[in-house]
Amino acid sequence: QVQLQESGPGLVKPSQTLSLTCTVSGGSISSGSYYWSWIRQPAGKGLEWIGRIYTSGSTNYNPSLKSRVTISVDTSKNQFSLKLSSVTAADTAVYYCARLTLGHYGENAYYFDYWGQGTLVTVSS
């Protein structure tokens, strides 16, 4: 059973950089069948996709955050990471890492099938 676990500071000061890591267990992050994503959810609000990374290091970001986001992967540790720079209070949210399955049995199928429990990051001085 694949499991994802977010880790990182729960409090970040305004203008600083938010850094989170997602550790994948029960499966290899190097599998070519998946992308690895970050998604966030402000308290009481909906979900916002931040970006995704492939095992090769290829990335795609949400244009609304692209200038501030970097997602990277460390296959040796089976982890991928998120950095969000110049944070403000608007970046306060629960941050989830999730697996995006590309398909199976020869068919394409893009969906988020496994999620971490989420980690609350508060931006405050």
Partner 1 sequence: DIVMTQTPLSSPVTLGQPASISCRSSQSLVHSDGNTYLSWLQQRPGQPPRLLIYKISNRFSGVPDRFSGSGAGTDFTLKISRVEAEDVGVYYCTQATQFPYTFGQGTKLEIK
* Binding site residues, partner 1, CB under 8 A: 37, 46-49, 60-64, 96, 100, 107-113, 115-118
Minimum separation from the CB atom of position 93 to partner 1 (A): 13
Contact 50, 31 (CB under 8 A): no
Please give the C-alpha separations between residue 115 and each of 1, 17, 18, 36, 40, in angstroms, as whole numbers: 12, 23, 20, 10, 12
Which is closer to partner 1, CB of 32 or CB of 46?
Answer: 46
Contact 38, 48 (CB under 8 A): no
Which is closer to partner 1, CB of 64 or CB of 75?
Answer: 64
Minimum separation from the CB atom of position 61 to partner 1 (A): 8
Which is closer to partner 1, CB of 30 or CB of 60?
Answer: 60
Minimum separation from the CB atom of position 87 to partner 1 (A): 19
